[in-house]
Amino acid sequence: MGFFDSVIKYKNQDYDKLKKECQTKGTLYIDTEFPPDDRSLSSQPGKFGSVVWKRPKQICSDPKLFVEGASSGDVSQGKLGNCWFVAASSCLASFKEVWHKVIPNAKGQEWDAEKPDNYQGIFKFQFWRYGHWVEVVIDDMLPTINDELVFIHSQSKNEFWSALLEKAYAKLFGNYEALDGGELSEALEDFTGGVSDTLDMIKMELAAKSEERVALFARMQKEMDRKSLMAASIPATSAEDMEATTDIGLVKGHAYGITAVKNVHLEGSGLFGIFNREKLPMIRLRNPWGQGEWKGAFSDGSPEWEKISKSDRDKIGLTFEEDGEFWMTFEDYCKYFVQTCICRVVNTSYLSLTKTWHEGLAHGAWTTPDRAGGCPNNKETFVKNPQYSFDVTEDSDECMIQLMQKSTRDKEGSQNVTMGFTILKVEMNREQRVHDLDLQERFISTIYRNSRSTFLRHGPFKKGRYVVIPSTFDAGHTAEFLLRVYTSSACNFKELTLDKPKKPWYNCCGRAPCLVTQIKVIKATDLQRQERDGADPYVIIKCEGEKVTTSTCKDTTNPEWNTSAIFYRTQPHKKPVKIQIWNDNILRDEFMGRHLLDSSNECKLQALEVGLMGQKAESNTIKPGKITIVITQSRQLMSV
């Protein structure tokens, strides 16, 4: 699903229709699907105190959706433990392209002092949910205590976009309490439809490794330019640590929005000699509480800023207000923060000048009894999980894969299952489900996490076909999920549903497969030199009308392919598997030798080093070189 795809109306509520009904009746809208009472606050009546629901005009005299546009300073946390959502909202405010999607037709929804009769107390917001954009309609009645908003609020008393946004999001999950506790990636993805990557900066050893810091800074600069949303946190390790302020002013168990990643010029300043560099990598963050800031170097009002020219301070928008926003060096950032969350809006538009990705998307489910096999520790049942194949058509390609469970976060809170996925490199022509893990190359696995999504960005992927197997950690657990795969070129993404080949309707009188053969071509040695630099050999594997071609190894007479093919054979005694080696040429490829595999004996992972022979006319001629293959054959078609 793209960033500007069609929108689904939540609970079938039509904003335009509901607004027109209110205009006709001359009334203000009241949302019966999310009523202004305790049911919309919590499953426990009175949990937040004596709350009075009020419309903005009952709270201030001149309410506005926006006061001088949206900014990260418009979002301050209230009496709800949803700093993850608040930090994401701060990020959202920094990028117009994103919040114009989340808050559609903001100008049309704004209060108009000249046309007060046009206001019906109804608003709409849009969130991305599992491959679709969903429009949520709400009324403008907000929970207050002593005329103060209970939850998210803006520093401007008459600005309400952030409070209304939070209400719409709470409606999506049942009530406000359902937003208590969560992950940054959840809200960032729901604002953008992007894919989130959470980096563990301790495991990456960024505090000690300067090269890795430089690489991450460059990446974060690039992501900021691409309008990615980013946030940071220091996870709490105990209940006592939760929201505890450290000596340096940072809060544990708390999410900070990242609002800028910049190099600050030091040339000509007194800091040039201290840091011994022309530019200083710096990062700006925002505390969702709207107060409480970093106390170290380059904190608000610190002496380091006095040594940087006013023009450079103005360029980065430096202010010294108690607004929760602060700067720090990237080195200090990597030293004191633990996690960085990057949510990337993946570009799939061919009209764009930026990097374009090809998307494979599938809605799936772990279901009992035969599609909930658990993680690879459950060796007998793991392959019973849903399976999806995709192709990498360019060598050394980078791919991004995200598994997102359709979370049951609701009035009782999140009920995520622990999940992850494994990627196998399989036969280039596999169309059926994998049945034996021992016969496949395990390319990479993610860790298993009790979170809504798991993300993998990895490269290089070699050219070939891969199978993704998403799974819960324990067998027998059920849940729905969304799987997204992004590659640089078209990837032929699809679910593998068949256990063995389906007999075509037009071949009703033909033979059914009686033997499955998996052949892996490992390497060749001492091939005949074809040119000064050796040869450019590749392999063609043929069997019963089907053909698989490996990639070409350049300038070598000792190539390594490690490429597999699978064949479901109807006449193994009459039609052998043909393995041919060719030299890649511009005008005409040259034959270098072949081997015929005519055995139909059952075997598993049998390694053979065999010689090469000539073509039909010279079938008894021995060609230079040998080829190493690994063979598996079985009459049980569902064993490979």
Q: List the domains of the chain with CATH numbers.
A: 7-192 (no CATH), 195-344 (3.90.70.10), 358-496 (2.60.120.380), 512-639 (2.60.40.150)
Annotate 49-113 with three-state secondary structure: CCCEEECHHHHCCCCECCCCCCCHHHCECCCCCCHHHHHHHHHHHCCHHHHHHHCCCHHHHCCCC
Phi/psi of residue 279, each to 5°? -130, 145
Instruction: Determine contact, residues 538/550, Cβ cutoff 8 Å.
Output: yes
Phi/psi of residue 486, each to 5°? -120, 125
Q: Give CA 239 to chain center in angstroms.
A: 29
Token pair belonging to 442: 């395990």
Helix (H) or strand (E) holding 169: helix 161-173
Strand segments (E) across 337-492: 339-344, 358-366, 387-392, 397-405, 419-426, 441-445, 453-461, 464-472, 479-487
How far is it, in rounded angstroms, from Cα 413 to Cα 160? 26
Work out the burial of residue 184: count CB atoms within 10 Å of its CB; fewer than 13 is exposed, 13-18 middle, 19 or more buried. Answer: buried
Amino acid of residue 357 = W
Instruction: Determine contact, residues 484/363, Cβ cutoff 8 Å.
Output: no
How far is it, in rounded angstroms, from Cα 90 to Cα 324? 11
The whole-number pLDDT of residue 99 equals 80
Instruction: Determine contact, residues 451/214, Cβ cutoff 8 Å.
Output: no
Regarding beta strands 577-583 and 590-597, do their DSSP bridges make them parallel or antiparallel, or are they unpaired? antiparallel
The whole-number pLDDT of residue 2 equals 45
Cα–Cα distances in angstroms (integers) from residue 396 to residues 392, 399, 461, in the given order: 9, 10, 5
How far is it, in rounded angstroms, from Cα 271 to Cα 252? 30
Q: Give catalytic residue positions.
A: 83, 254, 287
The number of beta carbons lying within 10 Å of the beta carbon of residue 248 is 14
Work out the burial of residue 456: count CB atoms within 10 Å of its CB; fewer than 13 is exposed, 13-18 middle, 19 or more buried. Answer: buried
DSSP 437-459: GGGSEEEEEPPPBSSSEEEEEEE
- The residue count of the chain comes to 640
Closest CA to 138 of 99, 172, 100, 87: 172
Phi/psi of residue 270, each to 5°? -70, -10
The whole-number pLDDT of residue 354 equals 62
- Cα dihedral 271, 233, 219, 91, rounded to 10, equals -100
Regarding beta strands 132-139 and 7-9, do their DSSP bridges make them parallel or antiparallel, or are they unpaired? parallel
DSSP state, residue 508: T
Q: In the sheet that 52-54 helps form, which strands lie side by side, from edge to edge? A: 52-54, 142-145, 148-149
The residue whose two tokens read 């969702």 is 288
Instruction: Determine contact, residues 52/145, Cβ cutoff 8 Å.
Output: yes
Instruction: Determine contact, residues 238/67, Cβ cutoff 8 Å.
Output: no
DSSP state, residue 152: -
Cα–Cα distances in angstroms (integers) from residue 556 to residues 394, 522, 578, 608, in the given order: 20, 15, 22, 21
How far is it, in rounded angstroms, from Cα 507 to Cα 501? 13
The number of beta carbons lying within 10 Å of the beta carbon of residue 199 is 17
Closest CA to 193 of 448, 486, 490: 486
Cα–Cα distances in angstroms (integers) from residue 509 to residues 468, 480, 503, 505, 512, in the given order: 36, 41, 10, 10, 9
DSSP state, residue 301: T
Token pair belonging to 174: 């049942």
The residue whose two tokens read 């960033």 is 3
Amino acid of residue 176 = Y
3-state DSSP assignment of residue 180? coil
How far is it, in rounded angstroms, from Cα 15 to Cα 20? 9
Instruction: Determine contact, residues 10/26, Cβ cutoff 8 Å.
Output: no
The whole-number pLDDT of residue 72 equals 54
The whole-number pLDDT of residue 557 equals 95
The residue whose two tokens read 């109306």 is 9
Helix (H) or strand (E) holding 540: strand 537-543
Cα–Cα distances in angstroms (integers) from residue 630 to residues 5, 495, 539, in the given order: 47, 27, 15
Percent of the chain that is helix, strand, coil (3-state, to 5): 20, 35, 45
Token pair belonging to 235: 């996870």
Q: Consecutive 10-residue runs of the chain (640 residues): their mean pLDDT?
A: 68 95 93 94 87 94 81 70 79 76 88 82 94 95 93 87 93 91 84 88 90 93 84 73 74 80 69 59 79 77 74 64 75 92 78 72 95 94 97 86 82 74 97 96 92 87 95 95 92 95 66 93 94 91 95 94 96 94 93 93 96 84 95 96
How far is it, in rounded angstroms, from Cα 346 to Cα 2? 9
The whole-number pLDDT of residue 409 equals 63
Helix (H) or strand (E) holding 625: strand 622-634
Give strand pairing partners of 484: 361, 402
